[in-house]
Amino acid sequence: MYSLKLTKNYVPLLSQRETEKAIKLVKDGFQQVFSKALGLERISAPVMVRAGSGLNDDLNGIERPVRFDVPQAGFEVEIVHSLAKWKRMALREYGFKSGEGLYADMNAIRRDDSLDNLHSVYVDQWDWEKVIEREERTCEFLKNTVRKIAKAIAETKEQINALYTALEEKLCSDVVFITSEELLRKYPNKTAKEREYEITKEHRTVFVQNIGGKLSDGTRHDGRAPDYDDWKLNGDLLFWHSSLGEPLEISSMGIRVDAQSLLGQLKEANALSRLEYEYHKGIMSGTLPFTIGGGIGQSRLCMLMLEKLHIGEVQVSVWPEQMLRECKAAGVPLL
């Protein structure tokens, strides 16, 4: 079953043709501001990786990758879920030094994602990764990076509003930081998503830290694969999305695992068998660089910038027939 939220009196502020033009302006404009702020250069990235290589993003560990055989190559491949692991290896292979980084257009298929206003089986995001020093594996370094990204998003929104005067929403670039454990203590009787709703509604722009490990009540704020983010040095960047009346997660990011945190998180996830993969061996041996990285949703950013109610207004995907009918009747034009 899908989930759909429709609000009364929703009217798109831009026509479909205006929206298509604005999507390009958002993406082009943000890339320029974002890459300059973090010192990143664009590189080409794979749509698929070899099955069994250990390079695909395992997400929560239950999602099934789209897999198919390549007869002339003699093996199977998987459509990527994200480039979380591939990027770190690319930094080494391409010779990136400390303080240098990359970003890439990532196009994925997540067949098991829920279908709703914010989720599609088609995922497009900017995957980015940057080489850092061991001494920079700190909470303060993470926070400073988050602030740069939030500022780049707010600046891009100002540029788009100036071009399309029908758009009036302003974004807050001042980020409130809170750990998942602090959030649990603040709202002990609410679910993780309800806690995110309350904190983001209050503060507008929030970074929820420390996602993946168990909280004091034995639950997890959200799932995270154990082998890319350090669960003590990561988080999600949320903006309040007024059109939808909900928090919008724009970026999941973090300082990546070192040998110690990788081993501990693999033990907790009962996934020590992954140490046989090249990527994991590179971390344990120290031949892969220390990095920080994440993903920034392209369609979600366009939703936020163009004040859209449904992600299908800014990307072409597939939707249940009933959802298409309901959106059409409510005046929500899906591409």
Catalytic pick from 35, 120, 125, 265? 125
User: What's the maximum distance between 2 C-alpha atoms anywhere in the chain?
Assistant: 58
- Both tokens of 38, joined, read 């973090």
Residue 163 identity: L
Amino acid at 135: E
298: number of Cβ within 10 Å:
22
Q: Could you tell me if 292 and 130 are in contact, meaning their C-beta atoms sit under 8 angstroms apart? A: yes
Q: Is 219 part of a structural domain of the chain?
A: yes
Choose between 233 and 82: higher pLDDT.
233
The pLDDT tens digits of the residues spanning 283-330 come to: 999 999 999 999 999 999 999 999 999 999 999 999 999 999 999 999
- The radius of gyration of the chain from alpha carbons, rounded to an integer in Å, stands at 20
256 near 228, Cβ under 8 Å? yes
Residue keyed to tokens 């974002």: 34
> Does the residue 197 lie in any domain?
yes
- The confidence score (pLDDT) of residue 61 equals 72
Q: Is 113's pLDDT higher than 90?
A: no
Q: Above 80 in pLDDT, residue 60?
A: no
Q: Active-site residue 313, yes or no?
A: no
- Quick: pLDDT tens for 236-290: 999 999 999 999 999 999 999 999 999 999 999 999 999 999 999 999 999 999 9
Active site residue 298: no
Query: Active-site residue 50, yes or no?
Result: no
Specify the CATH number for the domain of residue 303: 3.30.930.10
3, part of any domain? no
Does residue 335 belong to any structural domain of this protein? Answer: no
**Assigned domain for 9 exists:** no
pTM attached to this predicted model? 0.93
What single-letter DSSP state applies at residue 16?
H
In a domain, 150, yes or no: yes
The verdict on residue 6 lying in a domain is: no
Residue 293: exposure state from Cβ atoms within 10 A (0-12, 13-18, ≥19): buried
Catalytic residue selected from 35, 82, 243, 252: 252
The DSSP code for 165 is T
User: Could you say which of 249, 256, 300, 313 is catalytic?
Assistant: 249
Instruction: Provide the domain count of the chain.
Output: 1
- Enclosing domain of residue 115: 16-329
Q: Of residues 110, 195, 224, 300, which has the active-site annotation?
A: 110
Residue 251 forms part of a structural domain: yes
Residue burial 1-12, b: 16+ Cβ < 10 Å; e: rest:
eeebeeeeebeb
Active site residue 300: no
Note if 209 is an active site residue.
Answer: no
pLDDT in tens, 160-210: 999 999 998 999 999 999 999 999 999 999 999 999 999 999 999 999 999
Catalytic residue among 127, 229, 236, 246: 236
Among 57, 196, 229, 246, which one carries the catalytic annotation?
Answer: 57
Is 32 an annotated catalytic residue? Answer: no
